[in-house]
Amino acid sequence: MAIEVRIPTILRTYTGGEKAVNADGATLSALIDSLEANHPGIKDRLIEGADLRRFVNIYINDEDVRFIGSLEAELSDGDQVVILPAVAGGAL
């Protein structure tokens, strides 16, 4: 099973500069473990404790995973996954 994962600029240090890499997994959680196996350190940038980091957005076929089960969201062959850090901040 191959799923294309688009990597944002800030995380390309883990992928040798690659903008997209292949990974596999039946759930987002498994996919992230598969990413970690090939790109050590990346998991910690995506997950905090047992959850997706608050300011990291992951999309499966353009759907924000928070609306479709978060780390338990299901994946199938050919799905496209996009990772984007939130653009956020503020005075406090």
Residues near another protein, by CB under 8 A: 8-10, 55, 57, 59, 62, 64, 66, 82, 84-92
Separation between Cα atoms, residue 27 and residue 90, nearest integer Å: 33
Q: Tell me whether residue 30 or residue 82 sits nearer to another protein (CB atom).
A: 82
Q: Give me the residues paired with residue 3 across strands.
A: 23
Quote the CA–CA distance of 78 and 50 in Å, as a whole number: 26
Closest to another protein by CB, 13 vs 38, is: 13
The one-letter amino acid code at 41 reads G
Nearest distance, CB of residue 62 and another protein, angstroms:
6
